[in-house]
């Protein structure tokens, strides 16, 4: 976790971001790559460089549903969620009067929970499987947690001055994963944890969002299994949620 926080702090200091609505004005944005620094926005213009205050970035919260789940895997969408700090580092280039391509780097945290009578369990060989809870216990939840670096490459189109539609592939590098199970036995809460869950370190999905006045909705679909199928049960995901862009 300390390494993760260090990476986030370093990225925040070097952050570069994009202002989507500014591209509608032909005189203000003649083309080429556009970069922004934290608190200082640097725009490329025909005759000069302008510096303005900027707070561009995005935060997303969404609910995750399981797709193509193996037997006994039942991801609870009501309790499985994603938190994403997007466009920590990003850039964009205009390709039309109302359209541009953006590339961003962000941080993504996901919790995949099952809340039924099966739990994720890791054995001595490192294999994760779905197992029954101990007899006489009351299940609370069992979850897989992952942390990823996200790299969306999206096409954006401005439907109006304050309405932007985006769609495109999203690449993920997932260096960290863990397992946690909680249940009650004889009235006392029990907790089981494990690391190194053999998550898929690289995956590619597709994402789409629509932003109106800095607030919008987004959808993601990732067909790649969350865990390596040689070490865990198969399940992929889709996510629906809210996004706030600054």
Q: Are 86 and 150 in contact (CB under 8 A)?
A: yes
What one-character DSSP code corresponds to residue 56? -
Q: Number of C-alpha atoms within 13 angstroms, CB side, residue 155?
A: 5
**At residue 12, does pLDDT exceed 50?**
no
What is the predicted pLDDT for the residue at 180? Answer: 97
| Percentage of the residues of the chain whose pLDDT score is greater than 70 | 77
Ordered by where they begin, the domains of the chain are 57-245 (2.40.160.20)
How far is C-alpha 224 from the geometric centre of its chain's CA atoms? 14
58: buried, middle or exposed (CB in 10 Å: 19+, 13-18, 0-12)? buried
At 162, the pLDDT band (50, 70, 90 cuts) reads confident
**At residue 113, does pLDDT exceed 90?**
yes
């Amino acid at each position: 976790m300390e390494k993760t926080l260090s990476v986030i702090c370093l990225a925040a200091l070097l952050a570069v971001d994009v202002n989507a609505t500014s591209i509608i004005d032909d005189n203000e944005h003649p083309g080429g790559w556009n970069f922004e620094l934290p608190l200082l926005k640097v725009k490329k213009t025909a005759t000069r460089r302008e510096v303005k205050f900027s707070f561009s970035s995005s935060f997303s919260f969404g609910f995750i549903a399981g797709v193509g789940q193996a037997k006994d895997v039942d991801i609870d969408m009501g309790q499985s969620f994603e938190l994403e700090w997007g466009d920590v580092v990003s850039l964009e280039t205009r390709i039309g009067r109302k359209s541009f391509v953006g590339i961003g780097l962000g941080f993504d945290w996901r919790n995949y929970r099952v809340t039924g009578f099966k739990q994720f369990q890791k054995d001595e060989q490192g294999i994760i499987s779905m197992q029954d809870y101990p007899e006489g216990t009351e299940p609370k939840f069992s979850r897989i947690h992952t942390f990823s670096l996200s790299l969306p490459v999206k096409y954006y189109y401005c439907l109006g001055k304050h309405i932007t539609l985006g769609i495109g592939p999203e690449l993920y590098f997932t260096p960290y994963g863990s397992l946690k199970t909680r249940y009650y036995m004889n009235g006392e809460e029990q907790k089981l944890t494990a690391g190194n869950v053999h998550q898929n370190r690289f995956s590619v999905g597709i994402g789409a969002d629509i932003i109106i006045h800095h607030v919008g909705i987004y959808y993601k679909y990732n067909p790649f299994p969350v865990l390596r199928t040689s070490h865990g049960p198969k399940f992929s995901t889709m996510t629906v949620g809210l996004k706030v862009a600054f």
